[in-house]
Amino acid sequence: MHTIRRPRLDDAAGIFELVGAYNTEVIGEPDTTLADIEDELVEPGFDRDEDGWLALTRDGRPDGYAWVCRVGDGDLVDVEVIVRPGVPGLADELWPLVLRRAAELGAELGHDSVTLHIGVYRDDLRKQAEVRELGFEPGTCYHRMRIDHDGPVKAPDVPEGVTLQTGESEEVRRAARAVHQEGFAQHFGFVRIGYEQWYERRQAMSVNDWSQLTLARVDGVPAAAVIGNDQFVADEDCGYIATLAVLPAFRGRGLGRFLLRHAFAADAARGRRGTLLHVDSNNTTPALGLYESAGMRPVLIMDVWRRTLATKPAA
């Protein structure tokens, strides 16, 4: 018997232990940190009092954690249901709550339907069957790529006509966001958001570091950007490239490879053991080939499953 209530900030440690137990069962090791959970609980767009659920045993141990999070004001909603290994039936209690709230969110935003996305480890056959039974279908898959740094990495020469700026100023951040939005406009699951939402989401992350944003201008015009953070420092001692975007008009000039190598050199200079990133295997650009040719290798695969859900008026 479990009690289901809303998650609180002081539940972070318990949720972290639960998620770690699930990760270890599926991929053999934890794949999150306490800071990741703490950030998740305060993420803009996620209302703990409406969008999350925690299932507790009689002695207060979390055995289930579920949430819904809207992405901007579009019709995309990220969802998750995590249950402790060996606890039967709990997912069946949590999923109706998730689906009901996702439909309510869509209605509140004025959409006739919403598209639900959930990430499932390629190795988690049980959860794949679970989401398929709920009407989800495969959408795309993301490869986690890694390169190891054995000592210093030589920084690449800056191409002629290219100037670099880091993200401490609002002017640079706004230009980088515009590059990101246009560069990813045709990608799977992309939702266009304004600067304030874009900034707020990153600013709320404890791992954010604006000095790891690099904007590349070509003859003074914003052309490409790489955005890194410290998401994988605590557990992997690796840098992380959250975004690498090149505007369509500037592709084919080697800017993506240059910024990738620039990030490698910066991570090595910080003493990081390596650099990680995630890439959509169905990317509209040949990004996976770029990363492999730069020496990165896949270390994990996460499939994104999706379902269209009709909305209903909010109560």
DSSP-assigned letters across all residues of the chain? --EEE---GGGHHHHHHHHHHHHHHHHSS----HHHHHHHHT-TT--HHHHEEEEE-TT--EEEEEEEEE-TTSSEEEEEEEE-TT--SHHHHHHHHHHHHHHHHHHHTT-SEEEEEEEEETT-HHHHHHHHHTT-EEEEEEEEEEEE--S--PPPPPPTTEEEEETTSHHHHHHHHHHHHHHTTTSTT-----HHHHHHHHHT-TTEEEEEEEEEEETTEEEEEEEEESTTHHHH-EEEEEEEEE-GGGTTSSHHHHHHHHHHHHHHHTT-SEEEEEEETT-SSSHHHHHHHTT-EEEEEEEEEEEEEE-----
The answer to whether position 67 is within a domain reads yes
The answer to whether position 270 is within a domain reads yes
CATH, residue 194: 3.40.630.30
Looking at the fold, whether 292 and 200 belong to one and the same domain comes out as yes
pLDDT of residue 284 exceeding 70, the answer is no
The answer to whether position 213 is within a domain reads yes
pLDDT of residue 285 exceeding 70, the answer is no
**How far is the C-alpha of 112 from the C-alpha of 118, rounded, in Å?**
20
- Of the three residues 108, 135, 162, the one that is the final residue of a domain is 135
Looking at the fold, whether 123 and 30 belong to one and the same domain comes out as yes
Sorting pLDDT into bands at 50, 70 and 90, what band is 73? Answer: confident
Looking at the fold, whether 161 and 291 belong to one and the same domain comes out as yes
**How far is the C-alpha of 183 from the C-alpha of 181, rounded, in Å?**
6
The answer to whether position 315 is within a domain reads no
The reported pLDDT for the residue numbered 205 is 96
Looking at the fold, whether 195 and 262 belong to one and the same domain comes out as yes
The answer to whether position 312 is within a domain reads no
- Of the three residues 135, 170, 199, the one that is the final residue of a domain is 135
Looking at the fold, whether 104 and 210 belong to one and the same domain comes out as no
Looking at the fold, whether 213 and 297 belong to one and the same domain comes out as yes
The reported pLDDT for the residue numbered 133 is 98
Looking at the fold, whether 182 and 49 belong to one and the same domain comes out as no
Write the pLDDT tens digit of every residue in 204-263: 999 999 999 999 999 999 999 999 999 999 999 999 999 999 999 999 999 999 999 999
Domain count, the chain: 2
Looking at the fold, whether 100 and 151 belong to one and the same domain comes out as no
The answer to whether position 311 is within a domain reads no
The answer to whether position 211 is within a domain reads yes
pTM for the model stands at 0.93
Domain that holds residue 225: 146-301
Average pLDDT over residues 5-17: 98
The reported pLDDT for the residue numbered 191 is 85
Looking at the fold, whether 37 and 120 belong to one and the same domain comes out as yes
| Bigger pLDDT: 176 vs 286 | 176
Q: What is the mean pLDDT of the chain?
A: 95
